[in-house]
Amino acid sequence: MKKFSLLLLCVSSGMLSVSATGVIPENDVSEVVLPVVVSSDVSVDVSTATPDVAAVPMEGEERQTTLMKMKEEFKTTFKFGGYLTGRYNISDRRGTASNGGFDIRRFRLYGSGHAWRDFYYRFQLEVSDAPGTDRGPRVLDAFVEWQRHEFFRVKLGQFKRCFGFENPISPLSIGFGSYSQAANRLQSVSDRIGAHRSSGRDGGVQVQGDFWKTEAGHPLFHYQVGLYNGQGINHRDLNHHKDLIAGFWVSPLKELKIGAFGWEGRHTNENNRLQTIARHRYGLGVMYESDWTVRSEYVHSVGSTLKGGADRSDAWYAAVGVPVRGVEGLKIYGRWDCYRDNARTWGGMKTDWNLSANYWLGKNLLLQLNYTHTCDRSTPVGADRRYNVLDAQVTARF
């Protein structure tokens, strides 16, 4: 262990006297952070002042330049924000306990920044819903990512699984007020397997990067590979297997991505640890995002559920978003969205036709009106297979 002291710093605007003594590990002198306050009410943060640097005799402008350089090199950053979404929905489906009502769809708080040079961090909390298991206030994202190289970035913690185009997109940018059935059922936003709701996230480590910049300045190729627990957020691993998920896409245009994804994993029943279900999945997709939005994916899954049932399922969708000329911030979306819980037959397919209007007032207020017509052939004969849902959502971001 070493003791150090930093004495008598001078700046051109006046004399500053600081005395600091601390105990630091022998091989960790670079982790010390000393707050320095200049007498002329100028505040400067000096990070990582080692004994060797502090002992170098400097005067006037040279000293101030050195201090500012150290500040810029080791400065930490932090940004905080959040958003809340209120909703009213109504349905004409017969045989349900309620035809809709009011609710707080989401209330999220998040923060991010750089903790040390190339080390980026982010957290996100969901604070709505009634308390309970996998409900109420909970951690969604919490990770650190080393971002030194564009071609090799490493992320560790809890975050979105790198499977599919739609899953990583923010709910505010989806365009329909809700994810597609492919994202919900097979990209694990609310997985068909019967696992607890994890919003497409899990704990693990992920490597990703970009290669081959085009003349226009955007990367032509992107890859991402991750190892995950397979149990979802805020739950520890229950087996000796880690889920392997990988994906890549090519971007011949900056706005266009054409990609493929794969998932090899297992999930263990938390109520019966002798039961483990396999997840073998792949997905293909294309996404174009500019003034217009075009997005389409197909996802196929092999593996049953915790309650049994079909061992093959699939889903696909095609979505388009068109800006309205003459009305800044208004965009109309349409989507054809299909899911088969049993991919061996067409008799149980559920189809949603979605039509949505998104109106951004500035950057922080979003008004949405969403209409869905559903044809659900998986319901028993005699039940209401065709029904309509209308919902209005208001989102304020801060």
More confident call, 46 vs 71: 71
Q: What pLDDT was estimated at residue 359?
A: 98
For 303-362, the pLDDT digits (tens) are: 999 999 899 999 999 999 999 999 999 999 999 999 999 999 999 999 999 999 999 999
Q: Share the mean pLDDT of the chain.
A: 85
**Among the listed ranges 38-52, 120-134, 334-348, which one has the minimum average pLDDT value?**
38-52
- All residues at 6 or more sequence positions from 157 whose CB lies less than 8 Å from its CB, including other chains: 141, 142, 143, 144, 203
Q: What pLDDT was estimated at residue 92?
A: 95
Residue position matching structure tokens 């969403």: 370
- Report the alpha-carbon distance of residue 390 to residue 397 in Å, rounded: 23
Mean pLDDT confidence for 11-30: 36
In this predicted structure, the answer to whether residue 392 has a pLDDT above a threshold of 50 is yes
Given a contact cutoff of 8 angstroms between Cβ atoms, the answer to whether 309 and 325 are in contact is no
Task: Write out the two tokens for 32.
Answer: 């010390």
Residue position matching structure tokens 């061992």: 311
- Report the alpha-carbon distance of residue 394 to residue 104 in Å, rounded: 10
In this predicted structure, the answer to whether residue 261 has a pLDDT above a threshold of 90 is yes
Given a contact cutoff of 8 angstroms between Cβ atoms, the answer to whether 353 and 372 are in contact is yes
Q: Which of 310, 225, 306, 229 is closest to 272 using CA atoms? A: 306
For 158-176, the pLDDT digits (tens) are: 999 999 999 999 999 999 9
Q: What pLDDT was estimated at residue 93?
A: 94
| CATH class of residue range 79-112+125-139+169-184+235-397 | mainly beta
- Report the alpha-carbon distance of residue 21 to residue 17 in Å, rounded: 14
- Report the alpha-carbon distance of residue 13 to residue 381 in Å, rounded: 84
Residue 70's pLDDT band (boundaries 50, 70, 90)?
A: low
Q: Which of 397, 335, 333 is closest to 369 using CA atoms? A: 333
Residue 2's pLDDT band (boundaries 50, 70, 90)?
A: very low
Dihedral sign computed on CA atoms, order 282, 286, 289, 291: negative
**Residue 121 DSSP symbol:** E
Residue 76's SS3 state is coil
More confident call, 178 vs 58: 178
Nearest 5 degrees, angle CA 281-CA 282-CA 284?
A: 155
From the CB of residue 281, how many other CB atoms can be counted at a distance below 10 Å?
23
Q: What pLDDT was estimated at residue 59?
A: 62
Inter-CA distances, 310 with 270, 303, 350, 398, Å? 21, 8, 15, 44
Q: What pLDDT was estimated at residue 73?
A: 64
Q: What pLDDT was estimated at residue 25?
A: 40
**211-214: Cβ within 8 A, 24+ apart:** 211/151
Task: Write out the two tokens for 67.
Answer: 């201090």
Side chain identity at 212, as an amino acid letter? W
Task: Write out the two tokens for 359.
Answer: 């109106």
What are the phi and psi torsion angles at 261 (to 5°)?
-140, 150
Query: Where along the chain do its domains lie?
Result: 2-74, 79-112+125-139+169-184+235-397
- All residues at 6 or more sequence positions from 12 whose CB lies less than 8 Å from its CB, including other chains: 60, 61, 64
Side chain identity at 138, as an amino acid letter? R
- All residues at 6 or more sequence positions from 221 whose CB lies less than 8 Å from its CB, including other chains: 210, 211, 212, 248, 249, 250, 251
**247-250: Cβ within 8 A, 24+ apart:** 247/162, 247/163, 247/164, 247/223, 247/283, 248/221, 248/222, 248/223, 248/224, 249/221, 249/222, 250/220, 250/221, 250/222
Percent of the chain predicted with pLDDT > 70: 83
- Report the alpha-carbon distance of residue 186 to residue 337 in Å, rounded: 13
